[in-house]
C-alpha cells in the first residue's frame, strides 16, 4: 500500500501552492484612503467663522479641521489678538464663538441698516439685567427680584434674541432656565460676560439674596 510521503517541516511552503494559482495578492491601502492629520491656520479659522451662519463650538471646529482642542484654542487666541484693533471681533460665549462687528462701529452700522436697534423699556432692561447677572435663572427668580409678573417681558426678550433658553432646572416642575445669547453681547458691545460692569453693593445684595437661588 502506498503511503503519502512525510512532509519535510524544514522545506519552505510555496505561497502559490498554499493559496492557489488564482489567489490575488492583497492590494496595499491607497495613500488617499489614509486619514491625514489636519491643520488649522488663523486665516482658515477666520474664514470658517465668516461663512458660518451660527456660532460654532470649539468641538465642532476641532472636528472639521481634524485637529485637537489645544490647536483650536491657540488659533482662537491668535485671531483675537489679530482682530483687536479691527472692525471685526471674535465674540466668545462659553464654548461657542463667532465674528461680530466692533462696538465702536455700532453707530455707523446702525445708520447703514436704516435705524438704531429698538429701544428697550425700563421693565425689559431690568429683567435683562437680572438674567445677565444671575444666569442661568428661572422666571420665578426674576419675578421674586422684580416683585411683578415677568412672563411677557421674558417672551419679548426671547423674541429679540437678547436672552435664550439654556435648558431646564432640576427644581420641581423643571422650569426653563434663561441666559443671555450672542445678540446680547453684540447689542451692548461686550466680547464676553466677564466684561459686564460691576454692580453697586446694594443692587448686588438684592440680586443675589438667599430668597432666589441661581437655578430657581
Task: Dump pLDDT digits (tens) for 47-88.
Answer: 999 998 888 999 999 999 999 999 999 999 999 999 998 999
Same domain, 123 and 98: no
End of a domain among 104, 131, 147?
A: 104
Same domain, 124 and 54: no
The whole-model pTM stands at 0.53
Same domain, 122 and 203: yes
- Could you give the count of Cα atoms lying within 13 Å of 29 in the half-sphere of its Cβ? 5
Same domain, 63 and 96: yes
Same domain, 124 and 198: yes
What is residue 209's predicted lDDT score, i.e. its pLDDT? Answer: 73
What is residue 191's predicted lDDT score, i.e. its pLDDT? Answer: 74
With a pLDDT cut of 90, the percent of the chain lying above it is: 39
Same domain, 189 and 161: yes
For residue 26, being part of any structural domain is answered with no
- Domain tally, the chain: 2
Same domain, 64 and 140: no
Whether 31 has a pLDDT exceeding 50, the answer reads: no
What is residue 208's predicted lDDT score, i.e. its pLDDT? Answer: 79
For residue 146, being part of any structural domain is answered with yes
What is residue 138's predicted lDDT score, i.e. its pLDDT? Answer: 93
Same domain, 202 and 162: yes
Same domain, 140 and 98: no
Same domain, 99 and 138: no
pLDDT tens readout for residues 156-194: 999 888 999 988 988 888 999 999 988 888 788 777 788
With a pLDDT cut of 70, the percent of the chain lying above it is: 75
For residue 215, being part of any structural domain is answered with no
For residue 87, being part of any structural domain is answered with yes
Sign of CA dihedral 163, 185, 187, 76: negative
Confidence of residue 115 (pLDDT cuts 50, 70, 90): low
Q: Are strands 163-168 and 96-101 parallel, antiparallel or unpaired?
A: unpaired
Contact 165/176 with Cβ under 8 angstroms? yes
The DSSP element (H or E) to which 75 belongs, if any, is helix 69-82
What is residue 113's predicted lDDT score, i.e. its pLDDT? Answer: 57
For residue 35, being part of any structural domain is answered with no
Domain range for 170 is 118-207
For residue 20, being part of any structural domain is answered with no
- Return the CATH number at 179: 1.10.10.10
Same domain, 134 and 173: yes
Among the listed residues 55, 168, 184, 84, the one whose alpha carbon sits nearest the alpha carbon of residue 125: 184
For residue 29, being part of any structural domain is answered with no
Whether 1 has a pLDDT exceeding 60, the answer reads: no
Confidence of residue 32 (pLDDT cuts 50, 70, 90): very low
Same domain, 56 and 124: no
Q: What is the C-alpha to C-alpha distance for residues 47 and 215, in angstroms, rounded to an integer?
A: 37
For residue 112, being part of any structural domain is answered with no
Amino acid at each position: 500500500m502506498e503511503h503519502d510521503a512525510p512532509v519535510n517541516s524544514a522545506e519552505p511552503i510555496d505561497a502559490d501552492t498554499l493559496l492557489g494559482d488564482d489567489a490575488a495578492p492583497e492590494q496595499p491601502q491607497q495613500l488617499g484612503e489614509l486619514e491625514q492629520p489636519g491643520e488649522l491656520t488663523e486665516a482658515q479659522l477666520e474664514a470658517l467663522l465668516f461663512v458660518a451662519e451660527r456660532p460654532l463650538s470649539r468641538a465642532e471646529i476641532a472636528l472639521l479641521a481634524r485637529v485637537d482642542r489645544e490647536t483650536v484654542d491657540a488659533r482662537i487666541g491668535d485671531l483675537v489678538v489679530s482682530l483687536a484693533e479691527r472692525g471685526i471681533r471674535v465674540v466668545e460665549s462659553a464654548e461657542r464663538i463667532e465674528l461680530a462687528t466692533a462696538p465702536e462701529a455700532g453707530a455707523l452700522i446702525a445708520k447703514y441698516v436704516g435705524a438704531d436697534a429698538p429701544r428697550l423699556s425700563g421693565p425689559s432692561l431690568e429683567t435683562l439685567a437680572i438674567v445677565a447677572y444671575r444666569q442661568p435663572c428661572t422666571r420665578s427668580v426674576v419675578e421674586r427680584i422684580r416683585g411683578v409678573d415677568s412672563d411677557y417681558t421674558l417672551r419679548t426678550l426671547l423674541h429679540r434674541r437678547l436672552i435664550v433658553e439654556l435648558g431646564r432646572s432640576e427644581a420641581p416642575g423643571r422650569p426653563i432656565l434663561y441666559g443671555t445669547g450672542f445678540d446680547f453681547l453684540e447689542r451692548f458691545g461686550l466680547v464676553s460676560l466677564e466684561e459686564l460692569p460691576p454692580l453697586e453693593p446694594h443692587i448686588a445684595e438684592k440680586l443675589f439674596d438667599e430668597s432666589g437661588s441661581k437655578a430657581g
